[in-house]
Structure 1
Amino acid sequence: MTVEAFEISVADDVLADLRERLRRTLYTTPSDSTFWAAGVDPGYLRELVAYWAGEFDWRAAEARLNAFPHFRADVAGRKVHYVHLRSERPGGGTPLVLTHGWPSSFVEMLRVAPLLTDRFDVVIPSLPGFLFSELPREKFTRRGTAEIWHELMTETLGYERFGAFGGDIGGGVTQWLGALFPQSLIGVHVTSAVLTTDFSELPATPEEQAYLDHLAAYDARDQGYSEIMWTRPDTIAAALADSPAGLIAWIIDKYRDWSDCDGDLEKKWDKDTLCTVATLYWATASIGTSFRQYYDYPANRPVPPISVPAAVTLSCEPAFAGLPRSLPERLCSDLRHWSTPGRGGHFMAHEEPEQVSREIHAFFGPLS
């Protein structure tokens, strides 16, 4: 089982080609005069692309990323990239794996990670097919990723027991960890609840049904992006792999929609961070492989019951507005921590790192 220290290093010729493509970007005509009404505003995109091509200092961003300890390990026969921060606590910290979602990366967790090392050993893997982690040989499922993470934490890193935190895809992986490996998990903590789809034995209550109807209505308005990635991922990937402007537009459309930013993207995501994430996707040519979890989504199955201690710090994003506690309680028999702070969206660890640190300490502290 090979573990190697890893350093991010993008070749000069890759950066030169990127800047040249950015400078030659062609822009579309707005479909609606209302700002962002029809997707990414072409005027804002022009401003961001100009910054990426001219003012953004990738080497400085690269140095900031490399200040964290990066590794790649052979896990389940594939390369997995992760950041591993050891606790300063005497005797070591409680192991904690933090898992991001889409269209995200390990960068999402870097603001909160240093706030946790007083008590925790923090492991931040890149999901399979994202950036520096290889796709699995089989279909990409939340369960399969949980099995990889369990091997990473217990066999590669040698932790007997650990906690897990995540949202979006990472929330699904986190819940599968709790369901599959109760002997290894001290607890699971999510920011976006993965709901049971089985209401055969206990029908949805009126409150639950009202939320499910709300979610269906929201998905009908929002799911255009996912429909193409479910059905024709290689078609859109061909465009985004060739156009860095298209790539960053595809990413920031969801950053703005799903963040708790009141429509002001840079309230939560400064230009340097946006360009850092986009450069990572560009340099690794991984936007297409990040779509695999959408194309393979039908291979996922409902999460089994979770008996380990569980926590929800509910994301403040439209998809989860009004989600009743009773829905995650259907899945988690020991839901010990339920919090609706009213701040922080889909990317809560990046948007509200101090809040997430407090929530993690409040839940996992008594368990460790």
Structure 2
Amino acid sequence: MTDITPFRIDIPQSQLDDLHARLDRIRWPDELPGVGWEYGIPLGYVQELVEYWRHTYDWREQEKRLNSIPQFTTEIDGQNVHFLHLRSANPDALPLIATHGWPGSVIELLNVIEPLSEDFHVVVPSIPGYGFSGPTRETGWNVERVARAWAQLMNRLGYTRYGAHGSDWGSSITRELGRIDAEHVVGIHVTMIGTPPPPDAAPFTDEEQQRLKHGERYQRELFGYAAVQSTRPQTLAFALHDSPVGQLAWIVEKFKDWTDSADTPEDAVDRDQMLTDVMLYWLTGTAASSARLYRESAGSWGRQPEPSTTPTGVAVFPKDLSLTIRRFAEATNHITHWSEFDRGGHFPAMEEPDLLIGDIRRFFRGLSAA
């Protein structure tokens, strides 16, 4: 069996000193007056956030918190894979693999790991190319390949029967995992299913029309990052890899656009947790490799997915960037649980952890009862 090696985060002080030096000599862009967030993340907000990042934010405190959860690395399909693994006190608990998305990381799930460990053996891997899974070294790391790696990881951990949860890319990876490893996956829980309307879907209900309009706004106003990352991720990486403020702005804008926030992202997510997420991209130098997942997986966009018979739970949060329509999802998925919430957005583990934890528990308890 391939080795599983204990892992501990210990960032050299020289990297933190370099970050501080770069923050001290940032060259600020200009800005049009009165445009707010309409043209992108505002100058004033970034300046205030960078001031906090430089002089108040404490990486060592966040590093200590991360290291309080057991972490490991292993090699799968030629790629280093980093993961958090917190076993439940209940030896008979169901294993659960939970997958983040972009611009998330394992930080995205930090608030839910310990509560979920009351009911599950929790495994939270870093997607290849993200965080401490390090840059990918070859082409081909798409959603399906990641899902196959997760199946190997759970087998390597000795888990022959397990559940899975995911959001954003994690939703796609989780769905694919449930499809290709249906023999071992008892059920999957996701926050979105990318199922396009079939040609004969009309007429639409009023609610469906609203959800389609919500998706149209994403395509019209918010899709620019994906267009770049799915076509020219390497070109973008030169800016993000060299400028911590560039990396910060590229990520933090999404915490505003995709969350249930009013004025700033911090209406929805904790400032230090958001900065720690940015730090994982910066310290591991994974701006390019994380973006490559878009390039590798773009060929599947807009296509009807392969049918899945794995029991599926869906949690819909109203400010998510895409709102799943149930009858479209049911065409290719075995939906056994559906929840609609009145608050929350694209990062529910950060925004509304209690709602997410409760829904995951209800879904898997329902499977056990059935």
TM-score by length of 2: 0.93
In structure 1, the residue corresponding to 2:131 is in which secondary structure? coil
State the distance in 1 between where 2:77 and 2:320 align: 37
Report if the CA contact (8 A) 2:82-2:132 is conserved: yes
Which one-letter code corresponds to 1:241 in the other structure? Answer: H
Give the 3-state SS of the residue equivalent to 2:11 in structure 1: coil
- Equivalents in 2 of 1:11, 1:318: separation in Å? 37
**Which amino acid is the alignment partner of residue 277 of structure 1?**
D
1:162 paired with 2:159, answer no
Q: State how far apart, in whole Å, the 1-side matches of 2:214 and 2:80 are.
A: 40
SS of 2:132 mapped into structure 1: coil
Show CA shifts across 1:180-206 (max 9, x none): 121111001110122157x36xx2132
Are the equivalent residues in 2 in contact too, given 1:86–1:117 (CA < 8 A)? yes
Residues 213/104 of structure 1: CA separation in 2 closer, same or farther (3 Å cut): same
Match of 1:20 in 2: 21
Conserved 8 A contact 1:196-1:302: yes
Separation in 2, partners of 1:129, 1:82 = 13
Deviation at 1:9, TM superposition (A): 1.0
Would you say the 8 A contact 2:163–2:185 is kept in 1?
yes
Structure 2 match to 1:279? 279
Q: Is the contact made by 2:75 and 2:81 (CA closer than 8 Å) also made in structure 1?
A: yes
Q: Which residue of 1 aligns with 2:265?
A: 265
**Is the alpha carbon distance of 1:230 and 1:31 closer, same or farther for their aligned partners in structure 2, counting shifts above 3 Å?**
farther
Q: What is residue 74 of structure 2 aligned with on the other side?
A: 73
Structure 1 residues 196 and 33, CA gap change in structure 2 (3 angstroms):
closer
The one-letter amino acid paired with 2:233 is: P
Does residue 305 of structure 1 match 2:307? Answer: yes
Aligned to 2:243: 243
Identity %: 37
Contact 1:174 1:188 in 2 (8 A): yes
The whole-number CA distance in structure 2 between the counterparts of 1:183 and 1:248 is: 41
Q: Give a deviation string over 1:333-363, Cα, whole Å, max 9, x none.
A: x311111112221111111111111101100
Displacement, 1:137?
A: 3.4
Per-residue CA deviations over 1:109-133 (Å, capped at 9, x if unaligned) read: 1101111112100000001100111
| 1:289-300 alignment runs, 5 A limit | 289-300=289-300
User: In the alignment, what sits opposite 1:34?
Assistant: 35
Shift in Å at residue 32 of structure 1? 4.5
Tell me the number of residue pairs that the alignment of Structure 1 and Structure 2 aligns.
Answer: 361
Deviates more, 1:14-23 or 1:337-346: 337-346
CA separation in 2, counterparts of 1:149 and 1:136?
A: 18
Report the counterpart of residue 231 of structure 1 in structure 2. Answer: 231
* Residue 34 of structure 1: how far off its partner (Å): 3.1
1:1-368 aligned within 5 A: 1-89=2-90, 91-134=91-134, 135=136, 137-154=138-155, 156-196=156-196, 199=198, 203-207=200-204, 210=209, 211-212=211-212, 214-300=214-300, 302-317=304-319, 319-321=321-323, 323-332=324-333, 334-368=334-368
Distance 2:222 2:336 in 1: 32
Tell me the secondary structure at the aligned position of residue 306 of structure 1. coil
Give the Cα separation in 2 of the matches to 1:123 and 1:133.
14
What is the TM-score of this pair, normalised by structure 1?
Answer: 0.93
Secondary structure class of the residue paired with 2:65: helix
Verify the 8 A CA contact 2:189 2:312 in the aligned structure 1: yes
Q: CA deviation at 1:73?
A: 0.9
Contact residue 93 and residue 120 of structure 1 kept, 8 A = yes
Q: 1:136 Cα shift?
A: 6.4
Contact 2:321 2:346 in 1 (8 A): no
Does structure 1 conserve the Cα–Cα contact (< 8 Å) formed by 2:73 and 2:81?
yes
Measured after TM superposition, the shift of residue 246 of structure 1 is 0.7
For structure 1, the residue ranges without an aligned partner over 5 or more in a row are: none
Deviates more, 1:346-355 or 1:266-275: 266-275
Is contact 1:141–1:299 with CA below 8 Å preserved after alignment?
A: no
Larger mean CA deviation between 78-87 and 135-144 belongs to: 135-144
How has the CA–CA distance of structure 1 residues 178 and 99 changed in structure 2, closer, same or farther, with 3 Å as cutoff? same
**For residues 12-66 of structure 1, what are the alpha-carbon distances to aligned partners after superposition, in whole Å with 9 as ceiling and x for unaligned?**
1111010000011111122351322211111010111111111111111111111
Q: What amino acid is aligned across from residue 366 of structure 2 in structure 1?
A: P
